[in-house]
A and B are shown apart, each in its own frame.
Chain A
Amino acid sequence: MGSISLNGIKKSFGEIEVLKDINLDIKDGEFLILIGPSGCGKSTLMNLIAGLEDLTGGEIVIDGSDVSEESPKDRDIAMVFQSYALYPTMNVARNICFGLEMSKMPKEEQEVILKKVSSLLQIDHLLDRKPGQLSGGQRQRVAMGRALARSPKVFLFDEPLSNLDAKLRVEMRTEIKKLHKRIGTTIVYVTHDQIEAMTLADRIAVLKDGELQQVGTPYEIYNDPVSHFVADFMGSPGMNFIECVVKDENLIIESGGQKYEFSIPCKEAINNSKLDVVMLGIRPEMLTEIQPSIEKNTYIHKVKFDVDVLEPMGADTVAIGQWNGNEVMARLSPESGNIAGKGFDLQVDTSKAILFDPNSGLRIR
């Protein structure tokens, strides 16, 4: 129904190549998130899918048909904009039904759809108001209502939550997820917020400088990134990166004034790479206070750690120190965080550690 194939998409504005060669297949009913830093081309890609911009190269196939030359209205796509783009002089009811009005749907049918959509989004009491009289969250819902009313094959969301305050954002995030479960239409969603990406997506597509870096499930992106860039982008606080010297398939770590040798699961990778120095990637949650119990494990290491800065976050406390001269963050319980200082006893779990080539930033396997 709403499957999308992006084949060899290229887009240039004059001399500037914004999208270089995008190939992506989105399954029908999938919730796909496009994420990347500012200027990576994600909004441009959205505009291309919607038909609001022309392709420089490649083709877009929706539900089996090539729509590359079609105008937006013939692609059966609806979009929710960052600024909502509600028609300011029309009331909510007309805003929602405008697309239906343009397709010359009879008034009675419009009413039916309007009722359905407005009750689904709980905005049926707002139908007579104008956008200027609504709160941010209400406008958001009306924008979604306008998109829903047209029962399109694909929904496009362009950073719809960026203009909301933090609390509202969390609420709406859950609503959007519930909505997707209910109606099951394909969603392509652009955001720069990686928490949104992790919580909402079926799959995440990471973009950088007009090129796809990696496409995968949130789990894959988080635990199995293909490059330093992807690893760094997801997770908050971000992954720790430490340059280490290799010794006999182990990594040398200097911490708290002492030297340690860490063994890690990807021994093959070290051998294959034939590098003397590699970049270790390990997430802060793998560095904690000493945990009781746990059976003896070659991947659990205990090291001394000099804490420079403590950042209490409520549920846990981030402790910042150094390994090999690189800044490193650990996640401690609030109680441990209270007493952490010089010479703190740190437990390091390297079972999920990964390696990168320090020059190219690519993953070593």
Chain B
Amino acid sequence: MNNYKLSNFNFGRAFIYLILLFFALIYLAPLYVMFTTSLKDIEEIRSGNLMALPLDPTLYAWKKAWSSACTGSECQGLAPYFWNSVRIVVPAVIISTVVGAFNGYALAKWKFKGSELLFGALLFGCFIPFQVILLPMAKLLGELGLANTVTGLVLVHVIYGVAFTTLFFRNYYVGIPTELVKAAKLDGASFFSIFRHIFIPLSTPIFVVTIIWQFTQIWNDFLFGVVYSGSGTQPITVALNNLVNTSVGGKEYNVDMAAAIIAAMPTLVVYVIAGKYFVKGLTAGAVKG
């Protein structure tokens, strides 16, 4: 909390509120536009403008976006790809989080020769542009028979997600006093007992942060999705992009917008409900560097 205030109380503070509100509107504007456009019909879109409210709101665009819009050669809407994303995200988040928890625990509390180096090497992996692994990973997936499969995508997300999840857990566990581990060792607890009885009960906050982070990253991913999926196994981000860029018979902007909102919905909902933890995740990972 800061104790300083602007010298000219009323004018200064009014100005600040004004600016903040102004930017709040700017940040919200695209969301507003997306919603209103998705509820209009095509005629209204062509004749009206971005900011106008829908005269006669209709769910036509939503229904089409979900079940019959064309995403390339298929015209099944986003529904099947929504479920693809679910099938990718759920296992990938669970596996990468659990592995990250064990890794973070081992690195934070059971240091050995080279453990810091290992951590550094892992950390580095969070920063590489994924373009450098795209080609060899494609080859690997091909050889494992996982090209264009959901399993393949889950594998990729787990592999490259573990670097982040390990970082989160390790930084969190470093903050737990090591004397707890010493006391537990004297009490006769083993590596896994200590984890189970002492660390896991303390880990709810970091589990939440990590799961939300991973869920958001993986659901919103496009790069891995577009490179490693086939026409039936695409995640929703890829399908959305296809939908928007397919203009069979004239562009239906309302359908595009409805589709975009559908794609964004899960992570937005998660953010609204648990945004506090999401922010913690962002800044925890970043500020520590």
Seen from chain A, the residues whose Cβ lies within 8 Å of a Cβ on chain B are: 47, 50-52, 71-73, 77-79, 81-83, 85-90, 98-99, 102-103, 146, 150
Using Cβ atoms and an 8 Å threshold, which residues of chain B touch A146? 183, 187
Residue of A nearest to B179 (CB): A85
* Prevailing SS type, chain B contact patch: helix
Q: How far is the CA of A70 from the CA of B182 in the complex (A)?
A: 15
* Prevailing SS type, chain A contact patch: loop
Further contacts, 14 of them, CB under 8 A, given A50-B186, A87-B183: A51-B185, A52-B186, A73-B185, A73-B186, A73-B187, A73-B188, A79-B182, A83-B179, A85-B179, A87-B198, A102-B189, A102-B193, A103-B188, A146-B187
Q: From residue B285, how far is it (CB to closest CB) to chain A in Å?
A: 25
Residue of A nearest to B203 (CB): A89
Listed residue (B177, B187, B193) with the most chain A CB atoms within 10 angstroms of its CB: B187
Using Cβ atoms and an 8 Å threshold, which residues of chain A touch B187? 73, 98-99, 102, 146, 150
- Provide 16 A-B residue pairs closer than 8 Å at the C-beta atoms, listed in order of the A residue: A52-B186, A73-B187, A73-B188, A79-B183, A79-B186, A83-B177, A85-B179, A85-B180, A85-B183, A87-B197, A89-B202, A99-B188, A102-B188, A102-B189, A146-B187, A150-B187
For the complex, count residues of B whose C-beta is within 8 A of A. Answer: 16
Q: B184 in the interface, Cβ–Cβ < 8 Å?
A: yes
Q: How far is the CA of A83 from the CA of B183 in the complex (A)?
A: 11
Q: From residue B109, how far is it (CB to closest CB) to chain A in Å?
A: 12
Using Cβ atoms and an 8 Å threshold, which residues of chain A touch B145? none
Q: From residue A74, how far is it (CB to closest CB) to chain B in Å?
A: 8
Listed residue (A77, A85, A146) with the most chain B CB atoms within 10 angstroms of its CB: A85
Seen from chain B, the residues whose Cβ lies within 8 Å of a Cβ on chain A are: 177, 179-180, 182-189, 193, 197-198, 201-202
Q: Known contacts being A71-B185, A73-B185, A98-B187, is A81 close to B201, with CB within 8 Å? A: no
Q: From residue A56, how far is it (CB to closest CB) to chain B in Å?
A: 15
Which among B180, B182, B201 is the interface contact of A52 at CB below 8 angstroms?
A: B182
Q: From residue A332, how far is it (CB to closest CB) to chain B in Å?
A: 45
> What are the nearest 5 A-B pairs in CB distance?
A73-B188, A99-B187, A89-B201, A85-B179, A102-B188
Q: Known contacts being A89-B198, A89-B201, is A77 close to B179, with CB within 8 Å? A: no
Q: From residue A181, how far is it (CB to closest CB) to chain B in Å?
A: 24
Q: From residue B9, how far is it (CB to closest CB) to chain A in Å?
A: 41
Q: How far is the CA of A103 from the CA of B197 in the complex (A)?
A: 14
Using Cβ atoms and an 8 Å threshold, which residues of chain B touch A150? 187
Q: How far is the CA of A88 from the CA of B189 in the complex (A)?
A: 16
Please state if B185 and A87 are interface contacts (CB–CB under 8 Å): no
Q: How far is the CA of A90 from the CA of B198 in the complex (A)?
A: 8
Using Cβ atoms and an 8 Å threshold, which residues of chain A touch B193? 102
Please state if B202 and A88 are interface contacts (CB–CB under 8 Å): yes
Listed residue (B180, B183, B185, B193) with the most chain A CB atoms within 10 angstroms of its CB: B183
Q: How far is the CA of A125 from the CA of B189 in the complex (A)?
A: 27
Please state if B182 and A85 are interface contacts (CB–CB under 8 Å): yes
Q: How far is the CA of A81 from the CA of B183 in the complex (A)?
A: 8
